[in-house]
Amino acid sequence: MKTYRSWVEVDLSAIEHNVKELMTLLSSKEQFMAVVKANAYGHGAIEVCHTLNKIGVYAFATATLFEAIELRKNGIQGQILILGYTEPSLVYLLKKYQLTQTVINSTYAKLVNAQGIDIPVHIAIDSGMHRLGNTQEEFDDIASLFHLPYLHVTGIFSHLCVSDSINIENQDYTRKQIYTFINIVDKLKKRYDVGCVHLQSSYGLLNYSYLNFDYVRIGISLYGVYSSKEDYQNPHIHFKPALSLKSKIVLLKSIQKDETVGYGRTYKATQKRKIAVVPIGYGDGLPRCFAHDVLVRGKRVPIVGRICMDQLMIDVSEVDNVSLFDIVTFIGEDHGEKISVEDIAEHVHSISNEILSQLGERLPRIYQGGHYERTL
């Protein structure tokens, strides 16, 4: 990694492992849909999808049209479902790249249908999250979608908003969502072919594996982590985190007692300290409030001063034999010590999904392991 200022390492064999672990929870009917939006949660969508194609996964979900087009242009095979909004005037691109569009409600469906272009769609149902889709009270609007001549319904789905929670009230709400969705689907099936049915995302599978639909949409679990350390962790599933985030020391300097470091002079030394400059910052996707320890030579050391856009400073006074170009680990393992993305998320009052998906494009991704091996 000598030529990189900072970088992300992705273990593709860990992703393969996580798929196999999750597959043990699926029925023989269910298929695996990999959610690869936001550059596969920062892991690199093209490389992740190539790996998944190699091991037999041929259903993917993105958030945007252009995320999906990028996959097609790079040879990804199988169904690609766009989970979010696509501008109706761009429907011709759905046709060109053989993509499936989510119908976010009946009004949107009419706008898309008005383009006069045949496309496959999945209908989003609002079962209680109140984000996308029509509700059960708008059943007639949902049924009307099957009569739009240019929209070919190949699937129907909803989303569980608290399936990650083991709180009794939230479990009751999730079961209510499940019942609502099944009721709508059953009513539609009496009159129409609804295509593939899917409801569960990662936590929907982990906590409600008894459900038996056509697809499960797996996002954060695919990458071997949980959204939060507080989430229920299935004891029968053993994930392997696929991503590490690393940089290196590019400058060492000593400061004296009462000298300060960084913008705003927020850090003042209480004694002589050895400070290292590391070329990574919030411009690379680190939260500016990321005042967490990092690893150098297997030892935890603190960030000092405010994180800059392109660099930050750490106190390496307690690290023996520290030197220029020593590796600095922000996420991952070093000499038996480990910092997880869940640790960081907890520290900045966020979730792993946000931390990972914000890792910037200027961080090169280094790939190893798995059936698809590539270094950029």
Match 């706008």 to its residue by tokens.
111
Distance CA 79, CA 63 (A): 14
pLDDT at 1: 59
Cα 16 vs. chain centroid, distance in angstroms?
A: 16
pLDDT at 375: 40
Whether residues 122 and 257 fall in one domain: no
Q: What is the pLDDT of residues 22-47, one digit of tens each?
A: 999 998 889 999 999 999 999 999 99
- The total of other beta-carbon atoms located within 10 Å of residue 236's CB is 9
Q: Is the pLDDT of residue 9 over 70?
A: yes
DSSP H/E element including 353: helix 352-357
pLDDT at 2: 63
Q: What is the mean pLDDT of the chain?
A: 95
Phi then psi dihedrals of residue 104, to 5 deg? -80, -20
Residue 352 lies in a domain: no
Q: Is the pLDDT of residue 376 over 70?
A: no
Distance CA 110, CA 209 (A): 35
- Residue 150 token pair: 């240019």
Residue 289 lies in a domain: yes
Whether residues 152 and 98 fall in one domain: yes
Distances, alpha carbon 370 to alpha carbons 14, 16, 33, 55, 365, in Å: 8, 7, 19, 9, 15
Whether residues 129 and 47 fall in one domain: yes
Whether residues 249 and 297 fall in one domain: yes
Q: What is the pLDDT of residues 76-113, one digit of tens each?
A: 999 999 999 999 999 999 999 999 999 999 999 999 99
Q: Is the pLDDT of residue 373 over 70?
A: no
Residue 236 lies in a domain: no
Check which CATH number belongs to the domain holding 279 and give it.
Answer: 2.40.37.10
pLDDT at 229: 84
Q: What is the pLDDT of residues 231-279, one digit of tens each?
A: 767 778 899 999 999 999 999 999 999 999 999 999 999 999 999 999 9
Do 280 and 247 meet the contact criterion of CB atoms below 8 Å apart?
yes
What whole-number percentage of the chain has pLDDT above 90?
91
- The total of other beta-carbon atoms located within 10 Å of residue 103's CB is 26
Q: What is the pLDDT of residues 285-297, one digit of tens each?
A: 998 888 789 999 9
pLDDT at 371: 62
Distance CA 93, CA 112 (A): 12
Identify the DSSP state of 16.
Answer: H
Residue 23 lies in a domain: yes
Q: What is the pTM of this model?
A: 0.93
Residue 332 one-letter amino acid: G
pLDDT, average across residues 218-231: 93
- Give 374's pLDDT tier (boundaries 50, 70, 90): very low
> Is residue 272 annotated as part of the catalytic site, yes or no?
no
> Is residue 37 annotated as part of the catalytic site, yes or no?
yes
Selecting among 37, 203, 267, 372, the annotated active-site residue is: 37
Q: Domain count of the chain?
A: 2
Whether residues 184 and 262 fall in one domain: no
Distance CA 290, CA 339 (A): 13
Q: Is the pLDDT of residue 154 over 50?
A: yes
Whether residues 274 and 213 fall in one domain: no
Residue 163 lies in a domain: yes
pLDDT at 137: 98
Whether residues 89 and 30 fall in one domain: yes
Range of the domain at 306: 243-339
Selecting among 92, 179, 232, 263, the annotated active-site residue is: 263
Whether residues 216 and 249 fall in one domain: no
pLDDT at 341: 96
Residue 18 lies in a domain: yes
